[in-house]
Amino acid sequence: MTYQTINPFDGEVMKTYTAISDTDLETKVAAAAACYGTWRHTSYKERATILAKAAELLRANPDKFAKAMTLDMGKRIDEARGEVQFSADILDYYAEHAERFLAPVELNPKVGKAHMEISPMGIIFCVEPWNFPYYQLARVAGPHLMAGNTILVKHAANVPHCAVLFEELLRDAGAPTGLYSNLFISHDQSNKLIDDVRIKGVALTGSVEAGRTIAARAGRNVKISSMELGGSDAFIVLEDADMEHTIKWAVWGRMYNTGQTCCAAKRFIVVDKVADTFLEKFQSALTALTPGNPLDEKTTLGPLSSEGALVGLLAQVDSAVAHGAKVIIGGKRLNRKGAFMQPTILTDVKPDNPAFRAEFFGPVAMFFRVKDEDAAIALANDSDFGLGGSVFTKDVARGLKLASRVETGMMFINNISWSDAELPFGGIKNSGYGRELGDMGIQQFVNKKLVRTGDFSAPV
Give per-residue pLDDT as tens, 287-308.
999 999 999 999 999 999 999 9
Output the pLDDT for position 459: 87
Residues annotated catalytic, as ranges:
228, 262
Cα–Cα distance between 227 and 432 in angstroms, integer? 5
Q: What is the pLDDT of residue 456?
A: 86
In whole angstroms, give the CA distance from residue 338 to residue 367.
27
| Tens digits of residue pLDDT in 242-271 | 999 999 999 999 999 999 999 999 999 999
Write out the E strands in 220-311.
Answer: 224-228, 233-237, 265-271
Quick: pLDDT tens for 132-142.
999 999 999 99
Per-residue confidence (pLDDT) for residue 270, from 0 to 100: 98
Predicted confidence at residue 116, as pLDDT, reads 98
pLDDT of residue 393: 98
Percent of the chain topping pLDDT 70: 100
Residue 419, pLDDT score:
82
pLDDT score of 457? 87
Tell me which residue of 183, 200, 228, 196 sits closest to 36, measured CA to CA. Answer: 200
Query: For the chain, give me the number of helices (H) and strands (E)?
Result: 14, 20
What pLDDT does residue 418 have?
85
pLDDT of the residue at 346: 98
Q: Which domains does the chain have, with CATH numbers?
A: 3-229+431-451 (3.40.605.10), 233-413 (3.40.309.10)
1 has pLDDT over 90: no
Give the pLDDT of residue 155.
98
Whole-number pLDDT of residue 307: 97
Q: What is the pLDDT of residue 95?
A: 98
pLDDT of residue 322: 98
pLDDT tier at 455, thresholds 50, 70, 90 = confident
Average model confidence (pLDDT) across the chain: 97
Closest of 72, 65, 70 to residue 87, by C-alpha: 65
Closest residue by Cα to residue 307 from 338, 343, 275 = 338
pLDDT of residue 460: 82
Q: What is the Cα–Cα distance from 379 to 94, expressed in whole angstroms?
A: 38
Residue 357 confidence (pLDDT):
97
